[in-house]
Amino acid sequence: MDAEAMKQLGAALAIGLGAIGPGIGIGLIGSKAMEAMGRNPEAAGTVQTNMILSIAFAESIAIFALVIALLLKFV
């Protein structure tokens, strides 16, 4: 394999594996937030605010993986 093929493979692995964790995390966050709102509807506003903040943090990890993949691909 030449260097260009290895760069492409590295970029693909970086974004592929880097998106698995945040994807699972966002699913779990949403699931548990819906469960919490179902059990205690009065706290839905607080739970929803914390859920959105947690989703943003999890998504930032996927953005880091995307940046690394783009660096590997184009640099």
Return the CATH number at 70: 1.20.20.10
Q: Which residues of the chain register pLDDT less than 70?
A: none
User: Dihedral through CA 42, CA 48, CA 53, CA 59, nearest 10?
Assistant: 150
Distance CA 33, CA 54 (A): 10
- What's the pLDDT score for residue 22? 94
The number of distinct structural domains making up the chain is 1
- What's the pLDDT score for residue 75? 86
What is the model's pTM? 0.82
Q: Where are the alpha helices (DSSP H) in 1-75?
A: 3-39, 44-74
What share of the chain has pLDDT > 90, as a percent?
A: 93
Q: Whole domain around residue 13: which residue ranges?
A: 3-74
